[in-house]
Amino acid sequence: MSKFRFSGGDACFLALSAVGTWFLRQTPFVALIPLVVAHFFLFCNVFRVRRNWELLWAACFIANFAAWALTRFSWAGVLTIQLPITLLVLVATAKSPGYRGVGSRRHAA
91 within domain boundaries: yes
User: Does 3 score more than 70 pLDDT?
Assistant: no
Averaged pLDDT of the chain = 88
Neighbour tally for 67: CB within 10 Å: 13
**Is there a domain that residue 101 lies in?**
no
Range of the domain at 50: 8-95
pLDDT tens digits for range 77-86? 999 999 999 9
pLDDT of residue 29: 84
Q: Is residue 104 part of a domain?
A: no
Contacts of 74 (CB under 8 A, 6+ apart): 68
Whether 37 has a pLDDT exceeding 60, the answer reads yes
Q: How many domains does the chain have?
A: 1
Whether residue 106 lies inside any domain: the answer is: no
pLDDT band at residue 17 under the 50/70/90 scheme: very high
Cα separation, 104 vs 39, whole angstroms = 19
Asked whether residue 32 is assigned to any structural domain, the reply reads yes
Whether the Cβ atoms of residue 94 and residue 103 lie closer than 8 Å to each other: yes
Q: At what angle do helices 8-23 and 32-41 cross, to 10 degrees?
A: 160
Tell whether the model's pLDDT for residue 1 goes beyond 90. Answer: no
